[in-house]
Amino acid sequence: MVSSLESSIGSERRVLTELPGPASRALQERRHNVVSSSVAMGFPIYIDRAQGAILVDVDGNHILDLGSGIAVTGIGHAVPELVEAVSQQVASFTHTCFGVTPYESYVAVCEELAALTPGTHEKRSALFNSGAEAVENAVKIARHATRRSAVIVFDHAYHGRTNLTMALTAKNMPYKDGFGPFAPEVYRVPMSYPFRDGLSGADAAARAIAEIESQVGAQNVAALLIEPVQGEGGFIVPAAGFLPALSKWTTDHGVVFIADEIQSGFGRTGEWFAVDHEGVIPDLVTTAKGLAGGMPLAGVTGRAEIMNAVHEGGIGGTYGGNPVAAVAALAAIRVMRDRNLVMRARELEAIMLTSLNALARDVTIIGDVRGRGAMIALELVEPGTTIPHATAAKAIVKYCNDHGVIVLSCGTAGNVIRLLPPLVITDEQLADGLEVLAEAVRDVN
Ligand SMILES: *Cc1c(COP(=O)(O)O)cnc(C)c1O
């Protein structure tokens, strides 16, 4: 049954109607009458089914997915192993609440997280539903373990939309505007941003540390929270040495180093975790997005003595580590291993960088091509300057959408195009998507 669905979709982009087509436009009418206009509206084609890197909309258009639902469906859509695992679990039981009566899959996910996250120390995990919930709990745990309150975050950071995580997130519009007051004891310091600051990793770390020490005081800091490759903030890869220097500073001062690997983790950058590229071993790691192949699941994993510092019942929630999501994570991790998708991310990096660097030589609006693995971005600038060019990013996204390709923008100034293809995308599909992107950039340039 699963394989007949697979063969019925095929692997090619195919646009049959104008986009959005008539059936999507009719659904859009219904949406306007009942869905809050506060919910983002990216590309309003309504999806009927999907397989691999192809989404099929309600008008029968086959759309190439270079966004993976924001780095979630790394293993691709409708993967048979995941479909099977989830279907069986739904038929067995869908919920007990792990804190009321436990089940094996939660424990098995924590075993996998202990094995996959950096470092060989004793680890413990707790599971949640969303990335924001994981980040919020990591901060709670770090505060409880250190009995300190300050949290250090970085320019361009994105950590979620709950009250505490809005405070941790940098960008005002659309994430924070009008939603204050925000949680206190959050201090923001400069990120390493090689394209814009030209600093070495060591110098950028020294700059951040000097601000922390003069404005907050190391002895007041519970946690330093950082995305090893920033996601929503613009796929900013810090200069080599930045993360190791910060990690060392946290160790020297009893500060909990929290790596937010929600977007960069689970093979996306060509290592299981982005910190692995520099051998950094965080005290706590937050995971979500790529963890469970599209089912809502998130985790906090880290040093046993920190994770166990909280009293029993101090951390939890009704749905955290839901059994359907937990078996999906186990299936997704199996697929990642069986298909060697971490290595595949490196191949995708090579293909994307070759193509985009060639494109950058031909046009004037690409200021920087950067990223790791299957997490690659173009930063767009006004020709001949480094001034962010957000209207170009918008126009490129629209051109790609009009031609049946999903690409996403990001960046504090909205001037970055990011590519997050499913790791199972074929070479042919990726070449097709990059060709459309190149046409879009040339059209806008
Ligand atoms: C998406 C994201 C979050 C928030 O995850 P949600 O599941 O949307 O709550 C937090 N941190 C990073 C780095 C993210 O990319």
pLDDT tens per residue across span 13-24:
999 999 999 999
Inside any domain, residue 354: yes
Inside any domain, residue 137: yes
Residues 163, 243 within the same domain: yes
How far apart, in whole angstroms, are the C-alpha atoms of residue 354 and residue 349?
8
Average pLDDT, the chain: 97
**Mean predicted confidence (pLDDT) in 333-358:** 98
Inside any domain, residue 71: no
Tell which atom from ligand 1 comes closest to the C-alpha of 289. Answer: 7
**Mean predicted confidence (pLDDT) in 389-406:** 98
Helix/strand/coil for 365: coil
Mutate which of 70, 73, 135, 154 for ligand 1? The one with the most ligand atoms within 8 Å of its CB, which is 135
Q: How confident is the model at residue 1 (pLDDT cuts 50, 70, 90)?
A: very low
Q: Which domain holds residue 100?
A: 83-338
Tell which atom from ligand 1 comes closest to the C-alpha of 296. Answer: 7
Tell which atom from ligand 1 comes closest to the C-alpha of 129. Answer: 7
Chosen domain end from 316, 338, 360: 338
Q: What's the number of domains the chain is made of? A: 2
pTM for this predicted structure:
0.97
Residues 228, 161 within the same domain: yes
pLDDT tens for 26-41 read 999 999 999 999 999 9
Residues 391, 349 within the same domain: yes
Q: For ligand 1, is residue 130 a contact (CB within 6 Å)?
A: yes
Residues 228, 129 within the same domain: yes
Q: For ligand 1, is residue 156 a contact (CB within 6 Å)?
A: no
Here the CATH number for the domain that contains residue 438 is 3.90.1150.10
Inside any domain, residue 24: yes
Inside any domain, residue 77: no
In the prediction, which pLDDT does 8 show? 75
Tell which atom from ligand 1 comes closest to the C-alpha of 261. Answer: 13
Ligand 1 geometric centre to CA of 266 (Å):
14
Ligand 1 geometric centre to CA of 442 (Å):
32
Mutate which of 236, 262, 420 for ligand 1? The one with the most ligand atoms within 8 Å of its CB, which is 262
Q: For ligand 1, is residue 261 a contact (CB within 6 Å)?
A: no
Inside any domain, residue 301: yes
Residues 158, 266 within the same domain: yes
Surface-to-core class of residue 292, CB atoms within 10 Å of its CB (0-12 exposed, 13-18 middle, 19+ buried): buried
Phi and psi dihedrals of 14, rounded to 5? Answer: -150, 110
Spatial strand order of the sheet with 123-128 comes to 123-128, 298-303, 284-287, 256-260, 221-226, 150-154, 186-189
Here the CATH number for the domain that contains residue 174 is 3.40.640.10
Tell which atom from ligand 1 comes closest to the C-alpha of 263. Answer: 15
Long-range contacts of 84-91 (CB under 8 A, 24+ apart): 84/2, 84/331, 85/327, 85/328, 85/330, 85/331, 86/295, 86/324, 86/327, 86/328, 86/331, 88/327, 89/323, 89/324, 89/327, 90/324
Inside any domain, residue 78: no
pLDDT tens for 283-295 read 999 999 999 999 9
Mutate which of 159, 162, 176, 258 for ligand 1? The one with the most ligand atoms within 8 Å of its CB, which is 159
Best CA proximity match to 315, nearest among 148, 137, 159, 139: 137
